[in-house]
Amino acid sequence: MQEMQNKFEALSIENEELRKQIDQTRDIFIKNKKGLEDSTRMNQEALTSANYNEQYSRKNNIKVMNFPRREDQNLRSDFIETVRRDLNVHLEERDVVAIHRLPSDKPGPKPMIVRFYFFHSTT
């Protein structure tokens, strides 16, 4: 009988230790889950902010399709002259910050991106 009592006490102690380990593991799990949820939320906020910033940085850009290409072309001057002549919009050299053609597999002139200094220049 004493032997059973000793085994029972040993099992009770072991059971209590296991319960403590389970509680500690549960606490760690809950803390990690909360951290993961916070990280996921912050990641989504950062992604949204990055998307907004990317769109904002492109607000002064236009994409031009089918702009003729020729040898030794000064793309900026040719573009400004074409806009002045065909669209009757007064542009200065300083209004165009950057201009370059984009890669394309399609035949014909490659599209180009024009970045304007001021947004109002594109309207």
Q: What is the pLDDT of residue 59?
A: 84
Per the CB < 8 A criterion, the answer to whether 92 and 102 are in contact is no
This prediction has a pTM of 0.57
- pLDDT 10s digits, 18-70: 999 999 999 999 999 999 999 999 999 999 998 888 888 788 899 999 999 98
> Which residues are CB-neighbours of 19 under 8 A, at least 6 positions away?
none
Tokens linked to 80? 């400004």
Single-letter residue type at 110: K
- pLDDT 10s digits, 74-107: 999 999 999 999 999 988 999 999 999 999 998 9
